Amino acid sequence: MRVLVRKLPALIMTAGLLVSLSACSAGVASTDGCTPARAIGSNAELISADGTFGNDPRATFPTPIVAGGASQVAVLSEGSGTGKRVAPGATTVMQLTIYNGKTGESLISTKYGEPGLVIAAVETEPAFGAIAQCARVGSRVAAVGTAGDLIGDGAIQQNGLAVTKDDTVVLVVDVQSVYLGRANGADQIPGAGLPSIVLAPDGRPGFTFADPRAPSDLKIEELKVGAGAKVREGDSVVLNYTGVIWETQEVFDSTWERNTPVLLTAAPLDDSGGGLVPGFAKALIGQRVGSQVIVSIPPKFGYSEGTAPASVPAGSTMVFVFDVLGIE
């Protein structure tokens, strides 16, 4: 669905609702106080990859390699000692390649040289974010496990991967960057005229509409004010957002539901379809990293006639709550 951004890779479109925000796993050792979701294992340490970071890893391993129970991870190369660690719940950007554990052949990968996958480092399906937990930026991490555990049935089917859920797969992840997992700014008291917002434990917003009538003008309020860098026009910004149609009070798009933050350009829509609807762009530009914002976008600041997706009825008002997680 093209509501705000280009289509995400199908590989992560099937990510389900959050399973657990806990980073604790029995028997998993912590690193610098960070406890990863998946255990280090000798099976994963059989993998080597001599490709340059951020490019085809050219992974090799004994075949067939068999998942021995729970999935395992191994750090193939450690990022810089000054690099940030991917804390549980943070947002990370990665390059990813998946291999068939029986044959060693590559099944699917991100497009090297283009922006990587943006995903939350939580224990969910697919488990790409969990694999990166506690790794430093610049690290290359390998994982071995069943396709059902590491990829998930939905993504296997959607991508037509030549494995079953019980087959062993090998994943190689290059951790490129890390950002906030949720807005951490100072709480604000919003003015009247917009829905009230209550946050779930994982940070996703719930909406309560006291007035069935939508504002006729663009209305922007900060719910949290961050202390990070300020978003400038043209910046690539990492966001979580939920969009609701005011008139029906129905969610029509949510990165929180997919557990996949997105990378958006802070600029109005252009002829190529890039950028944001004008009301969203106006609400985003000038905000600081760590902020959470609510914006009500009437039709005149939304899509031009005939360009709205089917999920946004003509003449409707869109309401977004978004977290500014970082600037790429």
Please give the backbone phi and psi of residue 263, each rounded to the nearest 5 degrees, phi first.
-110, 115
Is the domain of 200 the same as that of 174? no
Q: Could you report the average pLDDT of every consecutive run of 10 residues in the chain (328 residues)?
A: 35 33 39 85 95 97 92 94 88 97 97 91 91 96 97 93 96 97 95 94 93 95 98 97 97 92 93 85 98 97 90 96 96
41 lies in some domain: yes
Contacts of 35 (CB under 8 A, 6+ apart): 23, 24, 25, 28, 29, 88, 134
Is the domain of 228 the same as that of 282? yes
Question: How far apart are alpha carbons 268 and 25 in whole angstroms?
Answer: 44
Question: How far apart are alpha carbons 260 and 14 in whole angstroms?
Answer: 10
Work out whether the CA dihedral 128, 130, 136, 139 comes out positive or negative: negative
70 lies in some domain: yes
Is the domain of 127 the same as that of 83? yes
Helix (H, G, I), strand (E, B) or coil at 325: strand
27 lies in some domain: yes
Total residue length of the chain: 328
Is the domain of 218 the same as that of 313? yes
Is the domain of 34 the same as that of 85? yes
Identify the domain boundary among 179, 197, 231. 179
Question: How far apart are alpha carbons 242 and 3 in whole angstroms?
Answer: 11
pLDDT at 125 (0 to 100) = 84
Is the domain of 248 the same as that of 318? yes
Residue 324's DSSP bridge partners are 239
2 lies in some domain: no
282 lies in some domain: yes
Closest CA to 133 of 100, 166, 181: 181
Residue type, 149: D
Identify the domain boundary among 148, 163, 179. 179
Residue 117 in tokens: 């996958």
Is the domain of 159 the same as that of 231? no
User: Which run of H or of E encompasses 298?
Assistant: none
Backbone Cα Rg of the chain = 21
Identify the domain boundary among 179, 204, 232. 179
Domain range for 201:
186-327
What is the tally of structural domains in the chain? 2
Output the domain CATH number for residue 271: 3.10.50.40
Is the domain of 61 the same as that of 205? no
Contacts of 272 (CB under 8 A, 6+ apart): none
4 lies in some domain: no
1 lies in some domain: no
Residue 305 in tokens: 């006639």
Residue with tokens 């974010």: 129
Distance of CA 218 to CAs 189, 245, 296, Å? 19, 14, 6
The pTM is what?
Answer: 0.86
Q: How far is CA 274 from the centre of its chain?
A: 19
Is the domain of 96 the same as that of 235? no
Is the domain of 244 the same as that of 263? yes
Between β-strands 48-49 and 106-109, what pairing exists: parallel, antiparallel or unpaired?
Answer: unpaired
Is the domain of 157 the same as that of 290? no
Is the domain of 159 the same as that of 201? no
Contacts of 21 (CB under 8 A, 6+ apart): 88, 89, 122, 123, 201, 202
Contact 296, 217 (CB under 8 A): no
269 lies in some domain: yes
Per-residue exposure over 257-295, b if at least 16 CB sit within 10 Å of its own CB, e if not:
ebbbbbbbbbbbbeeeeebbbbbbbbbbbebbbbbbbbb
Between β-strands 236-245 and 250-254, what pairing exists: parallel, antiparallel or unpaired?
Answer: antiparallel
